[in-house]
Amino acid sequence: MPETLHRPDGTIAYDDTGGTGQLVIAAPGMGDLRQVYRHLRSPLQDKGLRFVTMDLRGVGESSVGWSDYSDAAIGSDMLALADHLNAGPAVMVGNSLTASSAVIAATEAPGSVAGLVLIGPFAREIPSPGWQKALFKLTLTPPWGKSAWVGYYRKQLYPGTKPPDHGAYVASLKKNLSEKGRFNEFRSLAFNSHEESGSRLGRLSCPVLVIMGTADPDFPDPEAEARGLAAATNGEVLLIEGAGHYPQAQFPAEVADAIVSFSSALR
């Protein structure tokens, strides 16, 4: 059973490896579960890190019925969790949408954030044609939206090498989104603007590591976006050849090594 963080609007579910090492808090992307980081848990714990993974508002085992699903609201949950754990400044790991939340958290409370690891990051607005945005909204419209998202997640976002438990994990994701209210909660997250995060990139004062799969289908040019984001944040880049939008699940050894090295340098 997960542990629970109580917030004014509801509860956030999280898992905590415990220990006294550097605190690392990881949030998943939209429509995903905290278990997307499942293959990092043991490697990071074995290296002495305290690895904490959290569900987003309305998804996974967090409660439903929130009044705010913005990037900033998720960032406030990340900070609240760090404060609740009371283990010093945390390395914040954001994947996809929650990269924006991590950036906002780091600029909102610099003393609570030791560094940022941004994986497949939507940390700023990525220009796209109006028709593409309209199609995305149409795709996620009930009654077909849930099946469309799960199918896209299964087939497109993990190009090439897939985790050995990929089928089982996607089945658990589909089951979660089938619970009462879950898919509507997901849709409340799916269309967030990342302008707020983009406007704060130059204000970051902590170290930043950008991890990007070279085959990430969510970006027209993944390598260019990774390098551009690193330049904007004075950060470092790790490109993982052949990885899609979730390199932490496809290539966990490489991502775990990078997080360990990044965290060790902060010490």
Domains with residue ranges and CATH for the chain: 3-266 (3.40.50.1820)
Measured CA to CA, the distance from residue 207 to residue 3 in angstroms comes to: 29
Query: Each residue's pLDDT tens digit in the chain (267 positions)?
Result: 899 999 999 999 999 999 999 999 999 999 999 999 999 999 999 999 999 999 999 999 999 999 999 999 999 999 999 999 999 999 999 999 999 999 999 999 999 999 999 999 999 988 766 666 777 788 889 888 999 999 999 999 999 989 999 999 999 999 999 999 999 999 998 889 899 999 999 999 999 999 999 999 999 999 999 999 999 999 999 999 999 999 999 999 999 999 999 999 997
- Cα gap 35→53, rounded to integer Å: 8
What pLDDT does residue 154 have? 95
Give the E-state strand segments of the chain in sequence order: 3-7, 10-16, 23-27, 50-54, 90-95, 113-119, 208-213, 236-240
What single string gives the DSSP state of each residue in 140-192?
T-TTTHHHHHHHHHHHTSS-SS--TTHHHHHHHHHHHHTSTTHHHHHHHHHT-
List the beta bridge partners of residue 160.
none
Query: Can you give the pLDDT at residue 128?
Result: 67
pLDDT for residue 267: 75
pLDDT at 131: 64
Amino acid found at 136? F
Helices (H) and strands (E) in the chain, counts: 11, 8
- Cα 258 to the chain's mean position, in Å? 16
> Residue 135's pLDDT is what?
76
Which residues on adjacent β-strands are paired with residue 238?
Answer: 211
Sheet strands (E) in 55-109 = 90-95
Environment class of 44 (CB within 10 Å of its CB; exposed 0-12, middle 13-18, buried 19+): buried
Please state, in angstroms and as integers, the Cα–Cα distance from residue 135 to each residue in 131, 142, 248, following that order.
Answer: 6, 13, 28
Most distant pair of Cα atoms in the chain: their distance: 50
| C-alpha gyration radius of the chain | 17
* Torsion sign over Cα 112, 117, 119, 122: positive
Compute the C-alpha angle 161/125/243, nearest 5°. Answer: 10
Q: Are 123 and 214 in contact (CB under 8 A)?
A: no
Give the pLDDT of residue 138. 83
What tokens does 213 get?
A: 């799969």
